[in-house]
Structure 1
Amino acid sequence: MATQIGVVLPGDPIPLDSVIPPSTSEPVIQLGPGTLHIPPSTILPVRAGALTASTTSTPTTSTTTIYVDNSTGRYTPAVHDVVIGTVASRFGDLENAYYRVLLPSSTAPQGILAASAFANAASRKTRPNLLPGTVVYARVAAMSLALGEPELECFDERTGKEAGFGELKGGMVADISVGLARRLLLLSSAAAAKANSGRLSVVDVLGQTLAFEIAVGRNGRIWVNSDSCATTVAVIRAIQETEFMTYHDMQDHVAKIVKNLQRSQK
């Protein structure tokens, strides 16, 4: 889970003890966008924004990715980020097939997704056959130094299972700011909500009265699916329109949108 440490300016020193969990005995540190390593052990931000640490753990190692995030500008891919993209084309042979996935509003406009990089895709017969225009929910597994493009995977790296990754069928895709995407992902767990004084995200507030599915991409895209187009559009509107509202104004605006939706469906 990603954790926001605080706001930094270019040149501010980043103390490692502020971003590494205290329980981590032998941490692995990975630098993401907006950071610079000056040997031997100095790390500096090179742009203003929110200093963010994302920690992933396995039974043997714990890796903390440090990056500087802000609400404006284009998305810069970083390892472990979840993204929503659109399949543009397929290339390669039958045994080693790959997809080019478009990542709008990104400094890397497309990524590479192997046909084998899905859960239960060990053999060619079980691999998905994605057509151009297919929307996928993926994770940035690595950055290709040769191609300068992110390498994507559609499974949970800890369990090897699908865990919501893969083709997103039906629904609608909409754009939001990269800052809003970051905040929605930060508040997507009970622990994060508790750290935010118990305040729920707009998605959780909507979920109290409406039934829908949602996927949030770190690249500033959301996918929403429900049993009606009207509900899907209402959810997208609520998320987009409440970005800069106070918490109480957001609750009031969501209640108004839900009330109008329910009235129109009678």
Structure 2
Amino acid sequence: MCEVGGIGLPGDKIVDKETDGRIVLGPGLRKETEHVLMTKPGKLCFKDPNIYWVDSHHKRYIPVRGENVLGVVTNKSGDTFKVDIGGSEQASLSYLAFEGATKRNRPDVKIGDQVFCKLLVASKHTEPEVVCIDSSGKSNGLGVIRDGGMTITTPCNHIRKILSPDCVLLKTLGNSLPYEIAIGMNGKIWIKGRTTKETIALTNAIACAEYMNNEQISLMCRKLVNSLSGF
């Protein structure tokens, strides 16, 4: 048996919290008859109202519907692009899945371009499908990224740590160093600072924060800002 906050192994049963209504199972969990079992090793996590998932250290991405990912266009077949998102198979991206795209007004997408997109279809039985628009048909930050910057790869559990409301990394960096960033749940991060020097410093800070707590992250960010300022 594995309780919330504990470390479990594949096959372990989880201990449910007292929740109202049915629970939602995230990555690393599977329902079998009346029990919920872990399918991969890691830390059992819980989020209100009643969401469970397993946080584990891995680099191979398992597509999940609705998640934002960073991918690279690898091929074009008819009206569909193939995008490598780091999963077991490539995702498909229709040329109509861009803001304002029509049969006459096709998006300017080339092989090798990096795209920030959202998973529309993600199932172990079908090929993943991604789009560069939200539910209202707007790009809302999604699309092809060609504006310089740097892209780094980090374990998927580090992505979840960065995006956690408890993590101070992005807010602390943004207080002193303006930047643009696109974070993919598949372990890819694109970031651009005001200068090349700042961009490199930001990527190094994000990579180094993987094994730090908030106090250590705050100290690191202060040292980074001071070093860029010449102190």
The answer on 1:256 being equivalent to 2:229 is no
Match among 116, 127, 131 for residue 96 of structure 2: 116
Alignment root-mean-square deviation, CA: 2.8
Structure 2 residue corresponding to 1:44, chosen from 23, 37, 40 = 37
Alignment equivalent of 2:160, drawn from 174, 177, 182: 182
What does residue 76 of structure 2 align with? 90
Distance 1:145 1:213, change over 3 A: same
2:65 equivalent to 1:79: yes
Superposed CA offset, 1:221-252 (max 9, x none): 10012331111111101111122123222111
1:51: Cα distance to partner?
Answer: 4.2
Task: State the SS of the aligned residue for 1:127.
Answer: coil
- Determine if the alignment matches structure 1 residue 102 to structure 2 residue 84: yes
Give me the whole-angstrom Cα distance separating, in 2, the residues matched to 1:8 and 1:139: 30
Which stretches of structure 1, 4 residues or more, deviate above 6 A after TM superposition?
A: none
Give 1:173's match in structure 2, choosing from 125, 148, 151: 151
Instruction: Using the TM superposition, name which of 234-243 and 160-169 deviates more.
Output: 160-169
1:13 to 2:7 alignment = no
1:18-57 CA-to-partner distances (Å, cap 9, x unmatched) read: 5xxx6xx8x795x553222224x543222222445789xx
What is the number of equivalent residue pairs in this alignment? Answer: 224
What are the superposed Cα offsets for residues 172-224 of structure 1, whole Å, 9 maximum, x if unpaired? 111112111111222xxxxx3xxx3xxx4311110000111001111111001
2:162 counterpart SS class: helix
Q: Distance in 2 between matches of 1:65 and 1:155?
A: 26
Question: How many Å separate the matches in 2 of 1:119 and 1:242?
Answer: 35
1:161 is aligned to 2:172? no
Instruction: Please name the residue that 1:135 is paired with.
Output: 114
CA distance in 2, matches of 1:112, 1:177: 23
Q: Equivalents in 2 of 1:138, 1:223: separation in Å?
A: 13
Tell me the TM-score normalized by structure 1.
0.73
* Shift of residue 152, structure 1, vs aligned partner: 0.8
Change (3 A) 1:172 1:73: closer
Tell me the percent identity: 28
Task: Give the aligned residue type for 1:15.
Answer: D
Contact kept, 8 Å, 1:14 with 1:45, in 2: the verdict is: no
Alpha-carbon offset, residue 262 of structure 1: 2.4
| Whole-angstrom distance in 2 between the partners of 1:14 and 1:117 | 42
Structure 1 unmatched runs, 5+? 56-63, 187-191
Structure 2 unaligned segments of length 5 or more: list them: none
Task: Give the TM-score taking structure 2 as reference length.
Answer: 0.83
